[in-house]
């Protein structure tokens, strides 16, 4: 039996050696696959850097809500309870060579305001707010003979002033940091927008008699506007699921020219579709001094109102 196995093995050995010498022929596709480089490993995200939120497919909702209360189309109204501020003042501009300064036109009165917003992405809302406030005051001119809006006044004249301030701001409110969802309790929003402000004032000297006239009373009317971009930040902190504390500030100015700035701090409570808020609001302004006359001043005070979130 052993002799037979040895003879069989010796007979198969030449055939095996011959098969090893025969080259292996590969097809073109097999050669290309063998020569192709290995695919590079996908880059790993740096965990120390904030990551942009994932982009969801159209119509797809996140498994966990981004915010405790859903962001929807929102309308609101508020009351701006102004307190005596700085000014407003009217002054002669750089193209005016006459003295034309009247300071402290009067105290501001409370005025209404409106608010609206609409979400356009997971991180961004478009917002609008505007308000109107009026003021009035009486004074006796001292220290000069101002020539204001083509009307001559003199030191000692008794003035009864009234004015109206209107302002509107349109801006993008975007999540700046951190980029994660659900949003963190503390987050920082960026503000990119534009603000329009106008001041219209009436200066009435009811006891003044114009030269060459027998009728008393002299009146001047002046209206100025300023439009500037607004850049700023708005930190928010969610005290609880339905309570939010927000501070925001934005502004823009040009050296020796016009400027606008605003600031606001509010505490809000939202339950389903309704939200109540209150806090402090301030705004500073200066129209262009390159014109014949310009206005400058500050308006500030308490603010409180309600918002309705369209579900």
Q: Report the 3 state secondary structure along the chain.
A: CHHHHHHHHHHHHHHHHHHHHCCCCCCHHHHHHHHCCCCCCCCCCCCCCCCCCCCCCCCCCCCCCCCCCCCCCEEEEEEEEEECCCCCEEEECCCCCCCCCECCCCEECCEEEEEEEEECCCCEEEEEEEEEEEEEEEEECCCCCCEECCEECCCCCEEEEEEEEEEEEEEEEEEEECCCCCCCCEEEEEEEEEEEEEEEEEEEECCCCCCCCCCCCEEEEEEEEEEEEEEEEEEEEECCCCEEEEEEEEEEECCCCCEEEEEEEEEEEEECCEEEEEEEEEEEEECCCCCCEEEEEEEEEEEEEEEEECC
Report the share of the chain in percent with pLDDT over 70. Answer: 79
Report yes or no on 208 lying in a domain: no
Report yes or no on 103 lying in a domain: yes
**Alpha carbons 192 and 203: distance in angstroms, whole number:** 37
Query: In the predicted model, is pLDDT for residue 8 greater than 70?
Result: no
Tally of CA atoms within 13 A in the half-sphere of 4 that contains its CB: 1
Which residue range(s) make up the domain with 274? 74-137+164-202+226-309
The answer to whether 277 touches 305, Cβ cutoff 8 Å, is yes
pLDDT tens digits for range 9-27: 444 545 444 444 545 455 6
Report yes or no on 217 lying in a domain: no
* Cα-trace Rg, the chain: 37
In this prediction, residue 45 has a pLDDT band, given cuts at 50, 70 and 90, of low
Report yes or no on 7 lying in a domain: no
Q: What is the pLDDT of residue 215?
A: 79
Report yes or no on 285 lying in a domain: yes
Structurally, the chain folds into a number of domains equal to 1
* Closest residue by Cα to residue 297 from 309, 277, 308, 283: 283
Report, as an integer, the average pLDDT of 288-304: 96
Q: What is the pLDDT of residue 2?
A: 44
Q: What is the CATH number of the domain that holds 295?
A: 2.40.128.90
pTM value is 0.79
245 upstream amide cis, omega within 30 of 0: no
Report yes or no on 280 lying in a domain: yes
pLDDT tens digits for range 146-184: 999 999 999 999 999 999 999 999 999 999 999 899 999
Report yes or no on 254 lying in a domain: yes
In this prediction, residue 113 has a pLDDT band, given cuts at 50, 70 and 90, of very high
Max Cα-Cα span within the chain = 152
Report yes or no on 36 lying in a domain: no
Mean pLDDT taken over the chain: 86
């Amino acid at each position: 039996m052993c002799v037979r196995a040895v003879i069989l093995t010796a007979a198969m050995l030449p055939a095996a050696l011959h098969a090893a010498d025969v080259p292996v022929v590969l097809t073109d596709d097999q050669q290309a696959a063998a020569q192709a480089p290995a695919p590079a490993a996908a880059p790993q995200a740096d965990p120390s850097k904030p990551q942009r939120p994932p982009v969801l497919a159209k119509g797809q909702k996140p498994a966990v809500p981004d915010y405790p209360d859903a962001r929807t189309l929102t309308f609101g109204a508020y009351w701006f309870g102004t307190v005596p501020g700085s000014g407003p003042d009217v002054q002669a501009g750089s193209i005016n060579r006459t003295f034309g300064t009247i300071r402290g036109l009067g105290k501001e009165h409370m005025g209404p305001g409106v608010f609206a917003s609409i979400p356009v992405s997971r991180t961004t809302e478009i917002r609008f707010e505007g308000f109107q406030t009026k003021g009035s005051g009486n004074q006796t001119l001292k220290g000069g003979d101002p020539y204001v809006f083509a009307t001559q006044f003199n030191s000692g004249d008794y003035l009864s002033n009234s004015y109206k301030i209107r302002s509107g701001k349109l801006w993008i409110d975007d999540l700046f940091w951190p980029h994660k969802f659900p949003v963190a309790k503390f987050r920082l929003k960026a503000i990119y927008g534009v603000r329009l402000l106008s001041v219209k004032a009436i200066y009435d000297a009811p006891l003044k008699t114009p030269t060459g006239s027998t009728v008393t009373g002299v009146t001047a009317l002046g209206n100025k506007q300023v439009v500037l971009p607004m850049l700023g930040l708005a930190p928010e902190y969610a005290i609880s699921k339905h309570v939010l504390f927000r501070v925001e500030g934005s502004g823009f100015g040009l050296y020796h020219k016009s400027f606008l700035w605003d600031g606001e701090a509010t505490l809000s409570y939202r339950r389903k579709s309704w939200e109540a808020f209150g806090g402090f609001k301030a705004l500073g302004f200066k129209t262009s001094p390159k014109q014949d006359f310009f206005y400058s001043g500050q308006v500030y005070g308490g603010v409180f109102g309600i918002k309705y979130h369209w579900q």
